[in-house]
Amino acid sequence: MSKGKKRIIILFLLSLIALMLITYHHNRRPSALFRILSYPYDVFNNFTLNVTMTFRELWGTFEENKRLRKELTAALTEKQRYAEIVQENKRLKELLSLKEHLPDYVTTAKVIARGYDRLLHTMILDKGKNSGIKKDMSVITPKGLVGKIYSVKDNFSEVLLLKDPNFSVAVRLQNSRHEGVISGTGHRYCILKYIPPEEGVEKGEVAVTSGLDGIFPPGLLVGVVSSVRKEGIEFFQDIKVLPFQSDAKIEEVVILGK
């Protein structure tokens, strides 16, 4: 017989003897012999009780941690949602301020997608003809010019962005008052064209729409001169302009009439 089986039999016999003694002496004062014989049973019983209590405590701790994690996740989600609402309200207030100061205001629209044509830099708005939007209308944000309406459907429209190589807008530099045309390059910066080399243009000058193209109303912020190069040119200065509004961060826009 193996040692394990012997231990089980001995433990069983001790438990049986202890149980019998308990039954026999339940109305009598326990004797020394009874205490000796019942000692293994008491030890085993206490051990079992402690293990059971420890397991229950561990399970209770596990369930509490699970509940607390769930509450923490819900709290973080609510915090993020609240922060997003705050940012949206801030943007909408800025757009509302534009509406009050721009007589050519048509409507406000949300950006719902990027353009589907890989050859063009465009974005899709959630409003179209049914909201009064027409082709070539100006698209702006509180920061500045975004582009113009490129195509229109009943319930959505497509915006040709300022950085697209097919886009151009007549502008005027605020300080020097020089006039030129800003065109997209497909990159973050644009090019200011048709400024002769004898004209003084400083880095940091602000370009605004001049209205001379008959498309965009005058005075809209476009961008700031980021670099000026006169050396090695033939007819016009090489001037780069950085748009005030990055198209990667646009969520809502304002549409202006012509």
Model pTM above 0.85: no
Q: Token pair for residue 27? A: 């109305």
- The average pLDDT across 208-213 equals 94
User: Of all residues in the chain, what percent carry a pLDDT higher than 90?
Assistant: 45
Residue 156 scores a pLDDT above 90:
yes
The yes/no answer on whether domain 105-258 falls in CATH 2.40.10.340 is: yes
- Give the pLDDT band of residue 232 (cuts 50, 70, 90): confident
What is the rounded CA–CA span in Å between residue 3 and residue 26?
34
- For the stretch 85-107, pLDDT in tens is 666 666 666 666 666 677 788 99
User: What residue has token string 């005075």?
Assistant: 219
At residue 131, the pLDDT reads 94
What is the rounded CA–CA span in Å between residue 239 and residue 203?
9
Q: Give the chain's radius of gyration (CA, Å).
A: 40
What is the rounded CA–CA span in Å between residue 256 and residue 172?
19
The mean-pLDDT minimum among 1-5, 144-148, 236-240 falls in: 1-5
User: What residue has token string 């949206």?
Assistant: 88
What is the rounded CA–CA span in Å between residue 218 and residue 15?
100
Q: Are 224 and 207 in contact (CB under 8 A)?
A: yes
The amino acid at 23: T
Q: What is the SS3 string spanning 39-81?
A: HHHHHHHHHHHHHHHHHHHHHHHHHHHHHHHHHHHHHHHHHHH
At residue 233, the pLDDT reads 76
- Sequence ranges of the domains in the chain: 1-101, 105-258
Task: Output the DSSP codes for 68-137.
Answer: HHHHHHHHHHHHHHHHHHHHHHHHHHHHHHHHHH-TTEEEEEEEEEE-S-TTS-EEEES--GGGT--TT-
- For the stretch 7-49, pLDDT in tens is 666 666 666 565 555 555 544 555 555 555 555 555 655 656 5
At residue 74, the pLDDT reads 72
Where is mean pLDDT largest: 8-17, 121-130, 228-237?
121-130
